Amino acid sequence: MLCHCFRNVFVCLLVALCFATGCEDKRPIASKSSPAQAGGATKNEAQQSSILLDHPEYANWSRFPVGASVTRKRVVTNEFGEVQVTTKMWLEDKSKTEVAVGSQVSVVRSDNPPENNPPSSTTYPAQFSPPTGMKPELFLLPSGKAKLVGEEKVSIGEVEVTAEVYEWTENNEAGQMTVKLWRSEEIPGRIVRQEMLTESSSTRTIEQIGELDLKGQ
């Protein structure tokens, strides 16, 4: 029974981790085509295939010097236990065409020793070609369902930033999950704070910045 309960915790955790690393709903929006168009690309599709958009991750990380980093701490709790996730991200390299961002995740579960995952690296191009049929503005949202509800000043140690506040509801295996996200371009990785609640399992997730280095090496 205990193992099953913790499995529920981890279902929510895996969904939550998706938001922590910028996992967004970027699926193309299906477009209707007539039978005459079914055999080839339409004029609009051909035009869109040549469009290049600025990549939001490149735009954000390239603002900072190499070595700049952010450490986010996330706590997932319900009546059966607690999971703590620490994610550190840092700018490894940047150029006019791409940035390389390193990351390392550590997990602490109830009654288990800490797990330190090996570091990984992700490269983001300065520009990208969006999928056919996708509205460019959707790529800028944290989720296709997210709604901008306002702005707030947030203090992180001695640093104060202006954060956009988003709210939305996601559906996962454990049920509906409400999400509130504070996001700012003034912070590497953009996520300032995040709160999630799955009412069906009383699983609450709170993530916030623990350490911040804007100067780098």
pLDDT value of residue 142? 93
pLDDT reading at 39 higher than 50:
no
Identify the residue with better confidence: 182 or 6.
182
Helix, strand and coil content of the chain, in percent to the nearest 5, comes to 20, 45, 35
Q: Running DSSP on this structure, what letter comes out for residue 35?
A: G
Nearest to 142 by CA among 120, 164, 173: 164
Among 15-24, 85-94, 176-185, 190-199, whose mean pLDDT is lowest?
15-24
> What are the helix and strand counts (H, E) for the chain?
3, 12
Q: Find the angle CA(55)-CA(74)-CA(23) to the nearest 5 degrees.
A: 25
Q: Running DSSP on this structure, what letter comes out for residue 140?
A: G
201-204 long-range Cβ contacts below 8 angstroms, 24+ apart: 201/8, 201/12, 201/78, 201/174, 201/175, 202/78, 202/79, 203/8, 203/9, 203/12, 203/76, 203/77, 203/78, 203/174, 204/76, 204/77, 204/78
> Could you tell me if 168 and 185 are in contact, meaning their C-beta atoms sit under 8 angstroms apart?
no
132-147 pLDDT per residue, tens: 888 888 888 999 899 9
Q: What percent of the chain has pLDDT over 70?
A: 76
The structure tokens 């999928």 sit at 131
Other beta carbons within 10 Å of 214: 16
Average pLDDT score over residue span 167-190 = 94
pTM: 0.76
Give 80's pLDDT tier (boundaries 50, 70, 90). Answer: confident
pLDDT value of residue 132? 83
